[in-house]
Chain A
Amino acid sequence: MQELSRLAVLGAGHVGPVIARLAIKAGYPVAIATSGDPEDIALITELVIPGAQPRWASDAIADADIVVLAIPLHRFLDVDPGLLNGKLVVDAMNYWPASDGVLTAFEAGGSSEIVARRLAGSIVVKALNHIGYHELEDLARPAGDPGRRAAGVAGSDPAAVAAIADLVDRFGYDPVRFGSLRAGRILQPGGPVFGAVLTRPEFERAVGEDARSLT
């Protein structure tokens, strides 16, 4: 059996534990980290994310093939980009002023494009951001299930997009690929699929004209 990538999930709030549990269920080795001491999340890990390993962020990232950013976007500005050099990074964050307040740094353009500019030494893929954390786990279905939902995966590096599409697939969603982070703006708050949980035909109808950029 092919060995699965090692994941580091940054963030132990609403979203991080959900993504970590989906990854553990899919068989990935998972480390989880916050900005602080892993001891602070030891109890959370034991009871809410059994199977994950709480670690210091720098250690978790150093040993990971894929790093998932599941922290509030304003906290991202405190992350040292150097830590993520050379890593495949999944941006599961959102710029969502109505819910989290206005951030000047994210007012211009797609949030993942701005994340990618800050992480110049990393490959950034936008995914796992547009389905609510309270539904992401309950609605996951294996391939072939008629009720399976679609999830967008956007990025400019085809190999990276393929790797994350595979991860999304193993998590229980039908991956819909977009060939650039810019095209991934369609997955953002205010877009047609944000907060909507759709089957692939519904998803493709919802993105409409933009579906031409699907690959």
Chain B
Amino acid sequence: MTYTFGLDTFGDRNSDADGQPLSHAQTIRNVVEEGVFAEQAGVDFFGIGEHHTEYFPMPAGDVVLAAIAARTERIRLGSAVTVLSSDDPVRVFQRYSTLNAISGGRAEVILGRGSSIESFPLFGYDLADYEELFEEKATLFAELLQGGPVTWEGKTRAALLNQDVVPHTESGPFPAWIGVGGNPQSVIRAARLGFSLALAIIGGPPARFAAYSQLFQRALEKFGRPPLPVLVHSPGHIAASDEQAKAEFWPRWRDIIAQIAPERGFAIPTQASFDRETGPDGALYVGSPETVAQKIAANLRALGATRFDLKFGMPGLTHDQLMTNIELYGHQVIPRARELLS
């Protein structure tokens, strides 16, 4: 079994060592450095999640990924996630197919909603139409990925008649995933359309998602498709010791979740809930390299998944803390997790 390990960022706004927020522009330049450093540290994938907020100023991740692509040779680059419902699938395909060209075939895309709902009012979409928008656009995107002229008709964008969409890829479809947070019908859709499955696990015991992984493989069989990989995306932070990682991460996590809780129905984190989530049965990978590697290996096994993407960073952490996180992840966590899984 081959396992791969990635890092995801939402462009979490950095602070300086004194706790003062850096500019959006500096935060974006730092993300480019983090992506380049991830390759040097031995990370397999670097993903950027679309967000449109003051503390996640990252609406155009594909542009940032192109900058990273120009300075790297091996690391795979993709979205994590692209909010497809409020975008145009033709444009998303064109942007990532362009990234695929620049990077010599290293592009990927994860389609979903993530925690990003602010793009709906921004681009004039109604959240109440979410289901129809995603279903139609994911279906069209699956066709675009296959290459060749596309004929398509729906309610959410202009029809296409035998349309050649460029740039063509050099060697077939690039990897494409659908991100799922807990709706089993989304798992079925990923299988039906032939996307790989990305499980976003941001709270509670990860093992409960094992049923989703089985559901995905059974649904692929039912739709007559070959097996496809499952990845796990979860937040975390790595430092030299468990204590240091928790001390750095906790206040940032508490503040950001408290801010988005009213919109998303999350409970406001407490020290007790944080201890539960950072423990062996929780969804946060916060700790020393050994702690995090053990947890990754255990959960990839439990979930039948072959890729783990760590969402690193939180608004308010420093660029130096993130670079240390990347170094420890690449040099210690990944080799140790591979050893545990072999």
Give residues in A with beta carbon < 8 Å to B: 12-14, 17, 40-41, 43-44, 47-48, 72, 74, 94, 96-103, 132-135, 137-138, 189-190, 194-197
Contacts and interface: CB of A to CB of B under 8 A. Distances in A.
Contacts of A190: 262
Contact of A196 (B127, B187, B208, B268): B268
Contact of B215 (A47, A101, A195): A47
A101 B128 contact: yes
Given A44-B188, A47-B218, A100-B128, A195 B267 contact: yes
Nearest to A40: B188
Which one of A97, A103, A195 has the highest number of Cβ atoms from chain B below 10 Å of its Cβ? A195
Contacts of A48: 184, 211-212, 215
B117 interface: yes
B208 to A, nearest CB: 8
Contacts of B215: 43-44, 47-48
Contact of B183 (A13, A43, A138): A13
B59 interface: no
Interface string B296-330: 00000000000000000000000000000000000
B127 A14 contact: no
Given A41-B185, A99-B264, 12 more contacts: A12-B185, A40-B188, A98-B117, A98-B262, A99-B127, A99-B265, A101-B126, A134-B182, A135-B267, A137-B208, A195-B262, A195-B264
Contacts of B64: none
Contacts of A197: 267
B228 interface: no
A194 B211 CA distance: 28
A138 B204 contact: yes
B266 A132 contact: yes
Contact of A14 (B126, B183, B262): B183
Nearest to B281: A138
Given A14-B183, A195-B262, A100 B127 contact: yes
Nearest to B273: A197
Contacts of B128: 74, 100-103
Interface in B160-201: 181-185, 187-188
A135 B276 CA distance: 12
A47 B214 contact: yes
A44 to B, nearest CB: 4
Contacts of B208: 137
Contacts of B265: 94, 96, 99, 132, 189, 194-195
A101 B113 CA distance: 14
B263 interface: yes
B104 interface: no
A44 B117 CA distance: 27
Contact of A133 (B129, B131, B182, B267): B182
B204 A43 contact: no
Scoring B131, B205, B267, B268 by chain A CB atoms within 10 A of each residue's CB, the highest score goes to B267
A102 B125 CA distance: 11
Given A134-B203, A189-B265, A195-B261, A99 B184 contact: no
A1 B131 CA distance: 43
A12 B184 contact: yes
A141 to B, nearest CB: 14
B238 to A, nearest CB: 24
A100 B131 CA distance: 10
The winner among B185, B188, B205, B262 for most chain A CB atoms within 10 A is B185
The 7 closest A-B pairs by CB, nearest first: A101-B127, A101-B128, A195-B265, A98-B263, A44-B184, A47-B215, A132-B265
B92 interface: no
A99 B118 CA distance: 9
A183 B36 CA distance: 56
B222 interface: yes
Contacts of B268: 195-196
A11 B183 CA distance: 11
Contacts of A103: 128
Nearest to A194: B265
B120 interface: yes
Contacts of B182: 14, 133-134
A135 B203 contact: yes
B22 interface: no
Contacts of B341: none
Given A48-B212, A196-B268, A43 B203 contact: no
B102 interface: no
B142 interface: no
Contacts of A40: 188
Contacts of B261: 195
A40 to B, nearest CB: 8
A203 to B, nearest CB: 13
A133 B185 CA distance: 15
Contacts of B211: 47-48
Given A13-B185, A14-B182, A99 B204 contact: no
Nearest to A42: B222
13 contacts: A12-B185, A13-B185, A44-B185, A44-B188, A99-B265, A100-B127, A101-B127, A132-B265, A132-B266, A134-B203, A137-B208, A195-B261, A197-B267
